[in-house]
Amino acid sequence: MSAAEAGDAGDASMTGAATTGATTAVAAVALAEARGAAAPFSHPLLRTATPGAWIALACGSPDILLIDHANCEKKAASTALSLMFAYAEDLELTDKMSRLAREELRHYEQVAKLMKSLRVVPQRLAPGRYAERLRRLVAKTEPEREVDLMVCGAFIEARSCERFAALAPAIGGSAGALFQGLHDAEARHYRVYLDLARRAAARNGIDLAARVKEFAVREAELITGPDAVFRFHSGVPGLL
């Protein structure tokens, strides 16, 4: 079943927002722990897997999860459009960002459709700290700035991909089907950003590995550190 079809079908187990409740949360932690125990975490960019406590909270907070996820898709499209303006003379970059922006908006439409079918009431949510803290590492001047913006984009997409893979089996139902469907796209997106980072770094003699390392360390801190607010990219809940 495609993600869109899953959204059409709806799912009684998710209707009424946080009806997944404590049982699902406990099961999610067990699943995440089993996942971690089964295979050590290995990823080309990310240094750490999503903590089981975050997965449990996400399964118990489907409304906030979906509302913030919808915001992330809009923001991903908006970032791609901003990069098209920032590097307008680069036709390879603008073409890739144009495609990416359109795809992110289609993702937004899928999430919005699922929210409607689950009767999730839209609300204004302040963004979490994740993207803003990562962007603090971005150089202010070129040519370093272009490399950093691409590396930053790669990490955000890679973490989205990793979270979708972790969430899909844990949350199940129509939301799980949607997340499973989005997983492949986000894997493709992080590679698009990483290829653009490689290209910009090679063109300007910048040490890409050093930039990736700095972002990887900060990213892992944000994912494993305590976080007062639950969002799609937040850290470990309830430790503040």
- Give the interface with Fe ion as residue ranges (CB under 5 A): 73, 76, 104, 107, 157, 186, 189
Closest separation in Å from C-beta 187 to Fe ion? 9
Given the complex with Fe ion, which of 63 and 73 has the nearer CB atom?
73
- Under a CB-based contact definition with an 8 Å cutoff, are residues 96 and 196 in contact? yes
b/e code 88-99 from CB counts within 10 Å (16+ = b) = eebeebbebbee
Given the complex with Fe ion, which of 186 and 227 has the nearer CB atom?
186
Cα end-to-end distance, the chain, whole Å: 40
Given the complex with Fe ion, which of 31 and 64 has the nearer CB atom?
64
Given the complex with Fe ion, which of 101 and 200 has the nearer CB atom?
101
Given the complex with Fe ion, which of 71 and 174 has the nearer CB atom?
71
Phi, psi of 227 (to 5 degrees): -140, 130
Closest separation in Å from C-beta 49 to Fe ion? 19
Given the complex with Fe ion, which of 68 and 157 has the nearer CB atom?
157
Closest separation in Å from C-beta 30 to Fe ion? 28
Q: Which of 230, 228, 231 is nearest to 239 (CA)?
A: 228
Closest separation in Å from C-beta 100 to Fe ion? 7
- Under a CB-based contact definition with an 8 Å cutoff, are residues 113 and 11 in contact? no
Token output for 230: 């639950």
Q: Can you list the alpha helix ranges (DSSP code H) found in the chain?
A: 3-9, 21-38, 52-60, 62-86, 91-117, 130-135, 144-171, 173-204, 208-224
b/e code 3-33 from CB counts within 10 Å (16+ = b) = bbebbeebbeebeeebebeeebbebbbebbe
Closest separation in Å from C-beta 185 to Fe ion? 6
Closest separation in Å from C-beta 7 to Fe ion? 14
Closest separation in Å from C-beta 160 to Fe ion? 6
DSSP assignment string, 198-233: HHHHHHHT--HHHHHHHHHHHHHHHHHSEESS--TT
Token output for 25: 């949360």
Given the complex with Fe ion, which of 31 and 161 has the nearer CB atom?
161
